[in-house]
Amino acid sequence: MVLEKLNIYQVDSFTDQPFKGNPAGVCVLKKGLSDSLMQSIATEMNLSETAFCIPTDNESFEEAGRYGLRWFTPSVEVPLCGHATLATAKVLYDEYRNNSEKLRFSTRSGELIVKKAGAKLAMDFPCDPTDNAGIPDDAVKALGIKNAINTASSRNLNMKLIEVDGPETVKNLKPNFGDLRNVGETFANGGFLVTSRWGEEGFDIISRFFAPVYGIDEDPVTGAAHTILGPYWAKKLGKNEIRSYQASARGGEVMVVVKGNRVDLIGDAVIMLKGEIYY
């Protein structure tokens, strides 16, 4: 049997250290793949997301400034993924020596722009505003939260945000993922985002993100969630630049700059693996 192959990478995003941040798969395509094949590759990679990018103007990877970009978890396609977008830009700039000042990605969430910001990368994403909304008691119980200060729902990604009383509450959460998955399936949410002020170690806020309905019990560092955290905390803290820490076991840092209805997510990334996948 003759197999085809494509280049594939694994990148740790929102960190400058190996084995930290959020690992993403990146497939750089010369031709389009079927949805089922992309889903199979993402399932094989078994990372929170695998990105698939392809130039849209028939230019070389070194010169192309516009790409189509999609993201798949091990079980479903998702409408927005920050860390896998950051990983894709890292691969295009470092491995393919792309010389574009800005990389423009056409996605299900509109055009996303990534550019170099010193030694880091800055992603220009749309903000996802929140509206105050109740969270089902079953969800709060499944998350292990006793006292919620505020609850809200994001307008675009339908993520449920729960603000709690401090960083130790965020760090010490031990969700029941089976129960949380059942709750998520019941009202089709985009995941649960738990956050609080911090004010120590140079960070303004802290958070964790859980999305078992997407096959991700806890995401290590979530770029998409910061399109929600940015405008939410900018209003509460009275500042547009927010340094955020996501307190998963791996941990990661995101600098968030709110600019009207857009947000810059600034972070680093480390390429960990590269090779070929056969199909």
Strands (E), the chain: 5-13, 22-28, 50-55, 66-72, 77-78, 102-107, 110-117, 120-126, 130-132, 148-154, 160-164, 192-197, 205-211, 216-219, 241-246, 252-259, 262-267, 269-278
Distance CA 274, CA 119 (A): 21
In this structure, the dihedral spanned by the alpha carbons of residues 246, 247, 248 and 251, taken in order and rounded to 10 degrees, is 70
Q: Which residue out of 44, 49, 101, 163 is catalytically annotated?
A: 49
Name every residue whose Cβ is closer than 8 Å to that of residue 237 and which is 6 or more positions away in sequence: 197, 204, 205
Read off the tokens for 191: 């995941």
49 catalytically annotated: yes
- Strands 262-267 and 130-132 turn out to be unpaired
Read off the tokens for 241: 């630049």
Name every residue whose Cβ is closer than 8 Å to that of residue 100 and which is 6 or more positions away in sequence: 63, 64, 65
- Among candidate residues 189, 211, 192, 263, the one with its CA nearest the CA of residue 233: 263
Catalytic residues: 49
